Structure 1
């Protein structure tokens, strides 16, 4: 499956939309980067053990919580695209726990289709952005974005008996809570950075239109290339490339991207 599976009406996307919509893009940019980097660390999944952490998070979210996939005996969610993908996580520094993950599916030949090509190709109506127009080595797809429940509920959103978990006041400080809604934004920034680092010139993603609109508040402007379709909720195909990303990223979040870029580059 090709899309970022955290649906917009789930808490993480609701938190992101509310948080992003409520701030001014250029306000207190330094604090955004400071909060993120103080508590969270981007991690390129360069080893087998780190990739297993990715698959465990995906299983926790897609199989156990959202039931988009059947639960696996080994507690890891994997699919046919993983062998030609790269992965990243975000670690919560104080607890050393991984909060979330994202992958970029790559293609080196015609046999390595992107998920959007295999499952949602007919949704691409603007044929100028057909993946087949580009070199296989220069296309990729951002997908399988997942954020664990413990790291996507603001303090004000907690309620007893929440099926998806809540942040414990005894475990997380108020300053930490303020940066958790930016985890999803951070994942897309990490993904875009890896796209640049790996020489991908044309990136695709299936996402909810409301999430795409929310991302515009921080200057991550995906180009919609087709009408929404019903696919685990309403999804539309989007396109982005390094030029679009770098030109439109708002000054209020450039400092965050630079910190993420520096961290990932050092790991690569």
Structure 2
């Protein structure tokens, strides 16, 4: 039996974990996934991004309105994570979709990684444009990026997070955002998700059940990043048993918002 520590920004609580533990119920004690369909909720996404990308990490310039936005937001699906205890939004991500009426539009990674992609593995240009998308702007506010030394990354995972069976903190926040992204993509008819990520994050997420395949060489983009791909159906079908309740809890949050 292993110990998991859920961090809510104020305190840590250790909970015994086994393969049969209901991670979904524990998740809902602390967090909620909220699809950002309204203008008001999208503004909350942009506020979280501004706090992380502009104020904390200085990746983007400060904005007078406190909202970090770009040209891709208009054709994106947005997702938030909220703290049940405080009611504050603590994390976000988005799914950037192609523009069906603009054949010249490319997803951000297609431009950034144009020379780095290994098209013998997968070629985005050969896929149906309405079935692909890119995950980007994954961000967690500083008070919830848990361990010392992780304040310089928009989201954090460590080696011990993926070692089921040892004493460690369970990464509910980053994994919850990725599983929420998976479900939002599924109900939106998206088969293939691309992401530009740190190599170690790709390895960690794969060990946790979100299978990322690296599809090209590393590039310099706010540090070293590699392009990777995920298959939505495979993530769900091949998910480890221990994560089923967590996925279904998050999927229920999204489905409630959709209906």
TM-score over 0.5 (shorter chain): yes
For residue 109 of structure 2, the aligned residue among 101, 111, 116 is 116
Q: How big is the shift at 1:149? A: 0.7
Deviation digits for residues 43-87 of structure 1 (CA, Å, limit 9, x no counterpart) = 000100000000010000000110001101111100110010010
Q: How big is the shift at 1:243? A: 2.3
Alignment of 1:216-235 (within 5 A): 216-235=206-225
For residue 131 of structure 1, the aligned residue among 110, 124, 130 is 124
SS of 1:126's partner is coil
Structure 2 contact 107–134 (Cα < 8 Å) conserved: yes
Q: How big is the shift at 1:227? A: 1.9
Alignment of 1:15-164 (within 5 A): 27-28=18-19, 30-109=21-100, 110-153=103-146, 157=148
Question: Would you tell me which structure has more helix in proportion to its own residues?
Answer: 1
Cα distance in 1 for partners of 2:170, 2:67 equals: 24
Q: How big is the shift at 1:118? A: 2.0
Give the equivalent residue in structure 1 for 2:233. Answer: 243
Q: How big is the shift at 1:105? A: 0.2
Give the equivalent residue in structure 1 for 2:252. Answer: 262
SS of 2:134's partner is strand
Across the two proteins, how many residue pairs are aligned to each other?
A: 228
Q: Any stretches of 5+ residues in structure 1 without a counterpart? A: 1-14, 16-23, 165-177
SS of 1:220's partner is coil
CA-atom RMSD in angstroms = 2.5
Structure 1 contact 57–100 (Cα < 8 Å) conserved: yes
Structure 2 contact 57–152 (Cα < 8 Å) conserved: no
Cα distance in 1 for partners of 2:134, 2:23 equals: 27
Q: How big is the shift at 1:179? A: 7.4
For residue 184 of structure 1, the aligned residue among 174, 177, 184 is 174
SS of 1:232's partner is coil
Give the equivalent residue in structure 2 for 1:175. Answer: none
Structure 1 contact 218–252 (Cα < 8 Å) conserved: no
For residue 252 of structure 1, the aligned residue among 221, 242, 250 is 242
Structure 2 contact 117–227 (Cα < 8 Å) conserved: yes
